[in-house]
Structure 1
Amino acid sequence: MEIIKSGLALGAEVKGMDLSKDLSSNEVDQINKAWDENLVLVFKNQNLTDPDLIKFSKNFGNLDHPAPNPFGINFSPEHPEINVISNVKKEGKPTGILGDGEATWHSDMSYQDVPPKAGILYSLEVPKDQGDTHFANMIAAYEDMPEDLKNRIEGKILIHDSAHNSAGQLRKGYEEVSDPSKTPGAKHPIVFKDPNTGKKALFIGRRPHAYVIGLELSESEKLLDDIWAHATQKKYTWTQRWKANELLMWKNLFVLHKRDAFDPNARRVMHRTQVTGEIKISA
């Protein structure tokens, strides 16, 4: 196993691994160590079936079933741990979620009281030079935050919207709410302390429909705009430029990620698993 760091704020490639094979406990330990250090890992040139993807993912915890999607469809009935990310339609019907539009900066399912530990994504079909996925390091963003902004967010609690997915689509069973202070979803401190390392990170979920509890709406909007402008600066980011047969895994509590839009006539098919959360977000 060889770990090649990106040289940026996060991200590393792991070489010399065939993820279709069983991993030894030592290999899992090495991956976890590299994952802790780099927050996002990519394994290229893999050849994984859905059972392979599930087996690999279970080395890192229990797996969640996908969240409700806007279509109310189970896209992977044979393997319910798999979430299908796809813009491909079959007989006019979607075969997966998120389509071909941009998915804005977010952490996954932050609207839950105990958000997921990690996302693991495997590429089956990808458009050439399109649909990149970007990641931002929220530990570095907090450590580097100006003191005046740190003071403004100290002790503040944020509502994380549960009604929309990362493509901005309304989830099935929800209604649109125009006032962000009425947004449904979990309430988390903006600054999260990792109980394992003691490091602090921003935990800001997704910008649309968010609200800082106790502030006038205009104050909340201004504060959130300032936080997001700081947290998503290029110096905190790394980009995955996809090719087929690559597996990417990220620490959901410590990074934001987003996806670029791509040509709707191109095909992009990904299979994703999600590692169950183990940590309640606390200051």
Structure 2
Amino acid sequence: MAIDFTPVTPVLGARVSGVSLATITPAQFDRLYGIWQQHHVLVLRGQQLTNAQFERFSAMLGELDPPPNQGAGRKSVPDHPNLYVVSNRKNGAGEPIGALGDGEAQWHTDMSYLQQPPFASMLWSIELPDSGGDTCFASMPAALRSMPAELVRRLERLSIKHDGTYDSGGFVRKGITPNDDPTQSVGTLHPVVIEQPESGERTLYLGRRRNAYIPGLPLQESDALLNTIWGYATDPQVTMRHQWRLGDVVLWNNFTTMHRRDGFPPEQFRTLHRSQIKGKYVPSAAAVKEAA
């Protein structure tokens, strides 16, 4: 069966058929990679995998980035230290077997506070609640294209300080002392408008809203501008919603998308295994487009 795909929305996502990730060949991978570069998020349903097969496919994208495993709720898959457990289940001692629990996860880009952020992330569904837990994605190239030219010209010359104090669930990362003054908190600077390092596509690069700051601006002005940017970046016209089924694998480009998660009933269980591709590029500013 030939690999085929159907766009999820006009600007983001593709549902792919005709490939088993358990037995994917190099030629099939090349075809899949091309579709991914164009659509930024891939949805592959009904994948029958072992952890070893999931890890093998993940490693075809690049070097795997193991989870931090720092305390309860930061756990690897047993015998697979490169895979990360996302779950609200607890073990016999009452400790989480994975990360993120059952709450909502706000819009974010994975680990953008690093100098070389992860290139890609992937989730494989193992166990799902009856309702909730949907994952939404936002297209950063489409958001940039939707902006007025005057706003884009301003953003091309600005950077955002990406703060790493809080994780996707809003919890303070281990070893970090909270500082909720964005002008003073520690963070990494990345350009607001970058080029996707492989395709050259122009895209926003935002990270997460909490504690974000645009250096050189008064805090009030920075906050107002960031709120404007996030309004375009999370507009329904540039987003897609994924309702999980068992056996789904979803792969996203960490340089061209943001994502978030809905909460779900705490008495139900949701377990996914995640792989992450280690950063191999520093986000680089896109060339400034001069006014016509």
Normalised by the shorter chain, which TM-score bucket? over 0.9
Alpha-carbon distance change, 175 to 48 in structure 1, aligned in 2, over 3 angstroms:
same
The 2-side partners of 1:255 and 1:70 are apart by 28
TM-score (norm 2): 0.93
SS of corresponding position for 2:207: coil
The 2-side partners of 1:40 and 1:73 are apart by 25
User: Which residue of structure 2 lines up, in the alignment, with residue 146 of structure 1?
Assistant: 148
User: Which residue of structure 2 lines up, in the alignment, with residue 100 of structure 1?
Assistant: 102
Which moves more between the two structures, 168-177 or 181-190? 181-190
- 1:201-241 Cα offsets, whole Å, 9 max, x none, are 10010001111111111111111001001111000011110
The 2-side partners of 1:71 and 1:187 are apart by 30
User: Which residue of structure 2 lines up, in the alignment, with residue 112 of structure 1?
Assistant: 114
User: Which of 227, 230, 238 pairs up with 1:228?
Assistant: 230
Shift of 1:97: 0.5
- 1:26-55 Cα offsets, whole Å, 9 max, x none, are 101100011011110011111212111100
Alpha-carbon distance change, 18 to 195 in structure 1, aligned in 2, over 3 angstroms:
closer
How many residues of Structure 1 are paired with residues of Structure 2 in the alignment? 282
Paired letter, 1:105: W
User: Which residue of structure 2 lines up, in the alignment, with residue 55 of structure 1?
Assistant: 56
TM-score (norm 1): 0.95
Shift of 1:197: 2.8
User: Which of 215, 218, 221 pairs up with 1:219?
Assistant: 221
The 1-side partners of 2:146 and 2:90 are apart by 44
The question of whether the paired residues in 2 share the 8 Å contact of 1:70 and 1:171 is answered with no
SS of corresponding position for 1:181: coil
**Structure 1 runs not aligned, ≥5 long:** none
**Structure 2 runs not aligned, ≥5 long:** 286-292
Q: Structure 1 residue 13 and structure 2 residue 47: aligned?
A: no
The 2-side partners of 1:243 and 1:275 are apart by 23
User: Which residue of structure 2 lines up, in the alignment, with residue 127 of structure 1?
Assistant: 129
User: Which residue of structure 2 lines up, in the alignment, with residue 268 of structure 1?
Assistant: 270
Alpha-carbon distance change, 79 to 195 in structure 1, aligned in 2, over 3 angstroms:
closer
Which moves more between the two structures, 87-96 or 249-258? 87-96
The 1-side partners of 2:14 and 2:112 are apart by 24
The 1-side partners of 2:271 and 2:199 are apart by 36
The 2-side partners of 1:110 and 1:214 are apart by 20
- 1:115-159 Cα offsets, whole Å, 9 max, x none, are 111001000001123110000100111122112321332311111
The 2-side partners of 1:84 and 1:116 are apart by 17
The 2-side partners of 1:16 and 1:196 are apart by 25
User: Which residue of structure 2 lines up, in the alignment, with residue 88 of structure 1?
Assistant: 89
RMSD over aligned CA atoms reads 1.4
User: Which of 245, 249, 252 pairs up with 1:243?
Assistant: 245
Which moves more between the two structures, 60-69 or 38-47? 60-69
User: Which residue of structure 1 lines up, in the alignment, with residue 158 of structure 2?
Assistant: 156
Shift of 1:10: 0.7
User: Which residue of structure 2 lines up, in the alignment, with residue 177 of structure 1?
Assistant: 179
- 1:132-187 Cα offsets, whole Å, 9 max, x none, are 00001001111221123213323111111112111111111011102011222221
Q: Structure 1 residue 136 and structure 2 residue 138: aligned?
A: yes
- 1:249-272 Cα offsets, whole Å, 9 max, x none, are 001100000000111111000000
The question of whether the paired residues in 2 share the 8 Å contact of 1:68 and 1:172 is answered with no
The question of whether the paired residues in 1 share the 8 Å contact of 2:43 and 2:250 is answered with yes
User: Which residue of structure 1 lines up, in the alignment, with residue 6 of structure 2?
Assistant: 4
